[in-house]
Amino acid sequence: MKLLISLILFATVVFDCHGQKQFRKFSKDEKAAIKKHRKTINKKDGNYHVLIMTDAGDMIVKLYNETPLHRDNFIAKVKSGFYDSLMFHRVINDFMIQGGDPNSKKAQTGQALGNGSAAGNQIPAEFRTEQGIYHKRGVLAAARDNNPEKASSNCQFYIVQRPAWRTTQLDSTIVQRKLVLNDAQKKLYTTIGGTPHLDGEYTVYGELEHGFEVLDKIAATKTNKSNRPETDVRMRMFVLNEPKLK
């Protein structure tokens, strides 16, 4: 079943890991980028930070410790080089950018993508709305198929790009989709942006700290009818720090 975040039925994705060392070899430009971006993160916040280098520029995401299953899975895959040369294969402006399909590494022009997964089981859902973790603009979340447990798949992810809502827009969407939002959510979505209809449906496990302009640039990429960018947008990922987790 194709993994996606639909405008009606939405998707999720995930991984498994336990602090293994990053063993891949780095090129000269990768070493320079890692050194540069390590200076920008807060190494004392107790969170993992991951550099996502793309054809459109660099982004840095912070992973949440509140979602350890997703965090550890993502870090394990980053360290193994799983995501290197994969594409952002599904892009919808004013919504999100999605990547992580292993089939995208050697995909031909026009090839349909979104069905790929890595070896291993789905990841149990880790919804943390009660802790204030919502689908705000810039969050990293997992794609999934339409399973009743809402468990995440094991490699695809998306980054929410939707800008701030006008109050009237949000109110209309709340009525149309029969959403129940608290005051914190309403303020978040009308000031920062995001996708309120995904709360409690897909696991959010991190957020963008740097590179919002890159997120917007990728989201604005011209796409085909399947929302695949006409010009490939590939990625490489690197763990920037090793926090001491409690």
DSSP assignments along 176-215, one per residue:
HHT----HHHHHHHHHT-B-GGGTTTS-EEEEEEE-HHHH
**Collapsing DSSP states into helix, strand and coil, what is residue 240?**
coil
Q: What is the pTM of this model?
A: 0.90
At residue 3, the pLDDT reads: 53
Whether residue 3 lies inside any domain: the answer is: no
Whether residue 70 lies inside any domain: the answer is: yes
Indicate whether 1 pLDDT > 70: no
CB of 118 closer than 8 Å to CB of 82: yes
Q: What is the extent of the structural domain holding 198?
A: 28-239
> What is the rounded average pLDDT of the residues 161-179?
97
CATH number at residue 161: 2.40.100.10
Q: pLDDT band for position 202 (50/70/90)?
A: very high
CB of 84 closer than 8 Å to CB of 237: yes
Percent of the chain with pLDDT over 90: 82
At residue 9, the pLDDT reads: 34
Whether residue 181 lies inside any domain: the answer is: yes
Whether residue 201 lies inside any domain: the answer is: yes
Whether residue 42 lies inside any domain: the answer is: yes
Whether residue 21 lies inside any domain: the answer is: no
Whether residue 74 lies inside any domain: the answer is: yes
Q: pLDDT band for position 11 (50/70/90)?
A: very low
At residue 26, the pLDDT reads: 83
> What is the rounded average pLDDT of the residues 79-106?
96
Indicate whether 212 pLDDT > 70: yes
Indicate whether 85 pLDDT > 80: yes
How many domains in the chain?
Answer: 1
Whether residue 196 lies inside any domain: the answer is: yes
- State the Cα–Cα distance between residues 41 and 48, nearest whole angstrom: 10
At residue 10, the pLDDT reads: 34
> What is the rounded average pLDDT of the residues 39-45?
94
Q: What is the residue type of 168?
A: T
